[in-house]
Each structure stands twice: as structure tokens, then as C-alpha cells.
Structure 1
Amino acid sequence: MTDIARIIEVVEPEAKALGFDLVRVRYFKGGEIGDEEHTLQIMAERPDTGQLVIEDCAALSRRVSDRFDELEEAGDVLIEDAYRLEVSSPGIDRPLTRAKDFAAWIGHEARVELSELLDNRKRFRGELKGFDAETQAISIEDDGVVFEVPFDLVSNAKLILTDKLIAASRPLDTSGADEILEEQED
């Protein structure tokens, strides 16, 4: 069994060494129908922008691969199976995995899933209204009702792509965008 906590323990210092914050690490099988390959997905961001450019992803991928190889040579195999390493920025409709993510995206729409029932439901979709750092509670308005959701009950959460979110997200690198627009106009 793959120990995701151990993988995070190894990956996080590699991300920090490059000046990145780790957003999420997941290990899963498949992704497409018939795909039996495992994937180690690492999402990271620059703290000042919340994004990574392709060169950042490549640098983190190399560091993680090199570190995993070093550990394997020393007899510490983190992942037994063959796997694909996927390093990316969290993207516009990013996952919300840390308390600071919820605080940073107040006013935007999100989908939040819980590990157990709260008010007879596990899923909430609506505007993030607040985050109470003291109680670690997320306020989300769903169908006109504001729910206080304990952060430790959140099993999965992500922003919902809206015009407001697009307007709030600016790409770091727009090189090549002119060529794409020209091709579409032809």
C-alpha cells in the first residue's frame, strides 16, 4: 500500500526548495477507461501568484524524480508499482485543500464534499462566505442558507469555474496566445 503521508513528507521539501507551496498530492489508478497505470499527481504553486509555469513544473518534476531515485537506491521504495508522475499548477478551478485556500477565495463559488453528514447532507455548492481561523469553519451559502462547515470534515473541495473566477485569475505567461488567436481567426 502506498503511504501518501510519506510521499508528502518527501515531496514537500523539494517543492519548498524551489520556493513553491504544495497544494495537493494524490496517488490513484487510472483516469481513463481501461487505463491501469497509476498516477502520482502533485499540484504546487508559487505563494505570490498561486500558479506555476511549465518550467516550474518541469523543475519540480526533476527534483521529485531525483529524490525518489535516491531513496529507492537506499532501499526506501515509496511506490511499488509503475506510475506516471504528473506535476501541475492547481489551475483556475483549483482544489481547495488547505485552510488558507478557503480564506483566499471568499466570494467565489465552490463545491464542497464532506466525509460525514452535516445537516443531513454531504455536498454543498455555493459562494464561500468566510473562514473562521479560530474555529476552522468554512461558511458557504447554498440555496440561500449559510452553512458552517468544519474544515476537518472536508474530504474534497474545489472552486467552480465562473466569469468572476476567470476575471480574478490572470495567467503568468501569455506567450503564444497571439498565435493561437490568429489560427482561430483563419
Structure 2
Amino acid sequence: MSRFYQQYVDPEIKGQGPFDPVTKAYAHALARIHYMNLGQHPEWLRSATENFEDSLWLRAWRKEWHQNLTIPKFAHEYGCYTDRLDELLSRLIAFLRERTIEDTSLTLIHTDLNPDRIRSIDGCPIFIHWEQAAYGCFYLDLPNYFSVETALCYRDALAELGLNIPPALFMERFREVSRYMGL
């Protein structure tokens, strides 16, 4: 009988702001993963650079939404948002197409990164649950962990590694993708 052991991983610890060492450590760890894999698309890694709606499960909400629209009270209260949701989805897809054509942010991405997926071993960040990993735009990995106040920690970590995105451009793109995380 074979035995397998997993090293103890500390429970999730979330940074408390842009100057918090935990926030900076997570930003540096994620930036390193993204930077080391920039422009490298292994054959075995699924792509999130085409057919965005399917590869990133962006249609997953639609079936449930339209089913709920058959409930009169839901339809009356929320039906007016359907066109806006479709418009926002189209805007996200346009953003992702632009990033794909530009080809400066394409890398290994987690696609489901949130505080529950980050742990620590001896103070070093560990990202877990990579089953939805893909090759795509690194901005997609940022909004579920980083806030407007902490996003520049990630940008600064990328700059230290050699990818210096002007802060205003980085924040514009961060804000753009952040608005869609509910889809």
C-alpha cells in the first residue's frame, strides 16, 4: 500500500491593504507565475484566447437568468437588467479580444483565483485548485483578490520582473475587467 502525504498548508490569509506584507507577497508570487509564462502556450494547456464565452464559462449565468425570468416577480424586478448584462458581456469580450491581439498579457492563468485558492507554506504564497487553468489574459486573475487599492502591488511586482506597464494604463485595464467578475 502506498501512502501519500501533503505538506501542511496554512489557512488562507488575506492582505489588509497595499502596504501589508501579505498583499505584497501574494502580488509578487502571482506576478512571477504570470511573468515566467508570458507568451508561452503549452500544447496541453487549454486556450482562453478564443471563444471567450465558452472557454471562460461566461454564458453560465444565462441559463439560470432566463429560467428565473419565467418567474413573474423576478422578471418584474430584474428583467430590465437583461440588455445591460448582455451589453457588458459584449464589452468584456471586446476587451479580451483586444488583449489577445495585443499579445502582451497572455500567460498561464488560474481563471478562478480568489482568496479561498491562496494558502501559505512557511510564509510563501501557494495558489491551489488549478483545474480551470488556461492560457489567457492575466488581468482575469486579478479582480477576485486584488482591489483598486492593492492592484498596483501586482503591477509593481511585474515591473520588478521586467514588464513595466504604465500605472494609468494598468489601472484602466484592471478596472475594465473588474466590472465583469459577477458575470
| Bigger share in strand | 1
| Bigger share in helix | 2
Please classify the TM superposition score into its range, dividing by the shorter chain length: under 0.3
Q: TM-score, normalised by structure 1?
A: 0.24
Q: TM-score, normalised by structure 2?
A: 0.25
